[in-house]
Each structure stands twice: as C-alpha cells, then as structure tokens.
C-alpha cells in the first residue's frame, strides 16, 4: 500500500469508529435508569481508536461523539453535555496515560476499567465544583468506582473481542496473548 492509501484507510476507520461511538452514545441515552448507571458503550470506539491509532485519533473520536451526540439529543451546553464532555475527555486522557506508562500490564479491559473510573470521578468533581457545591456528594465515590469497574469490564470485553476477531481491520496492541503464554 502506498502512503496515501494508508492515510485514507486510517481516516475511514477513525470516521467509522466515531460514527459507531456516536450511535452507541445516542442509543444509550434512551435507556431508562439513573444517570450514573449508563454503560458508557460509546467508550468502545474511543478505546479502539486509542489502541489502534493512538491518542490523537482517540481524542477526535471522543470529541466528535460528545459534541455531535449533544447536537442530536438537543442538549448542547446543558449540564448533561458538560458531564459527557468532561467525563469523555478525562477518560481518554486517563486511558492514554495508563497505556503509556504501564507497558503491557493491562489489556483492553484494564484500560477500559481505569477509563471508566476516571470518567465517573471527574463527573463527580464537576458536579461538586459547578453544580451542587457540597462535599456530601463524595460519599458516592465507592459506588461510582464499583459501577466504573462493572461497566468498564463490559466495554473492555467488547473491545478485546473486536480486536481479537477483527485483527485485519484493527492492527491493535493485543497484549493478552503474550501474557497467556507467560503464565
């Protein structure tokens, strides 16, 4: 493949990931239930972009999802948008740092769990700083960590399976095969 077709391929895959993440995000917002029990399925696209193409593209996928999702749902610049935006950004940055500084310690599931926890904690912080201004809300930290672990497991597992089955589409950094051989 020439260099040009490589970059077109990358552009197409990143766009498709952004579209998939957007659809998951919009559908997820129709689920009934409390706001902090959302699975965060849109994060699947972010992690796939992060593992396949790196931080820049993961950031593009996240920001496109959050902004376009808010436009579709009619909640641009509302509190829900602020939460989704800050949470998505925090999760992308946290996952990038985890990936960068812990070489091959965590697979997609560990990265996803840490991203989900970062997402939840930052949302709690935003709620404290801009909306409720009362320290009482930090009593929710354990619950937020628990839901982050559970939902991060689900999204991480989807990412791991997609990377495993679709390896000719996503040339990802699949670490669990190495660690399986070692143990």
Partner 1 sequence: MIRKYYTRGDIILVITFLLASIISIAAIRYVSGGGKHVIVEVDGRHVLELSLDTDVTTTVTGPLGDTKIRVEGGAVRILDSSCPHKYCAGMGFIRHRGEVIICVPNHVIVSIRGGNEGESFDGVTQ
Q: What is the DSSP string of 5-69?
A: HHHHHHHHHHHHHHHHHHHHHHHHTTS-S-GGG---TTHHHHHHHHHHH-HHHHHHHHHHHHHHH
Interface segment toward partner 1; rule CB under 8 A; list 8-16, 17-25, 38-46, 170-178 = 170-178
Q: Does 70 bind partner 1 (CB under 8 A)?
A: no
- Which x/- pattern over 127-146 shows residues binding partner 1 (rule: CB under 8 A)? x---xxxx-xx-x-xxx-xx
Q: How far apart are CA 98 and CA 53, in angstroms?
A: 16
* 16 vs 174, beta carbon nearer partner 1: 174
What distance in Å separates the CA atoms of residue 159 and residue 153, rounded to the nearest whole number?
10
**Residue ranges in contact with partner 1 by CB under 8 A:** 34-35, 79, 102, 104-110, 113-114, 117, 127, 131-134, 136-137, 139, 141-143, 145-146, 148-149, 153, 156-157, 160-161, 164, 175-177, 179-180, 183
């Amino acid at each position: 493949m020439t260099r040009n077709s490589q970059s077109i391929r990358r552009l197409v895959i990143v766009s498709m990931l952004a579209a998939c993440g957007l659809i998951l995000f919009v559908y997820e917002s129709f689920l009934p239930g409390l706001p902090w029990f959302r699975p965060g399925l849109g994060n699947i696209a972010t992690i796939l972009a992060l593992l396949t193409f790196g931080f820049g593209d993961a950031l593009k996928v996240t920001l496109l999802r959050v902004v376009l999702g808010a436009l579709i749902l009619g909640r641009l610049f509302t509190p829900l948008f602020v939460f989704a935006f800050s949470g998505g950004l925090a999760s992308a940055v946290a996952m990038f740092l985890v990936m960068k500084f812990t070489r091959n310690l965590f697979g997609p599931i560990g990265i996803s769990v840490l991203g989900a926890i970062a997402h939840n904690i930052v949302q709690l912080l935003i709620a404290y700083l801009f909306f409720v201004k009362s320290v009482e809300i930090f009593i929710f930290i354990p619950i937020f960590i628990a839901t982050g672990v559970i939902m991060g497991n689900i999204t991480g597992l989807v990412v791991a399976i997609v990377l495993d089955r679709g390896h000719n589409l996503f040339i990802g950094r699949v670490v669990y095969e190495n660690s399986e051989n070692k143990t």
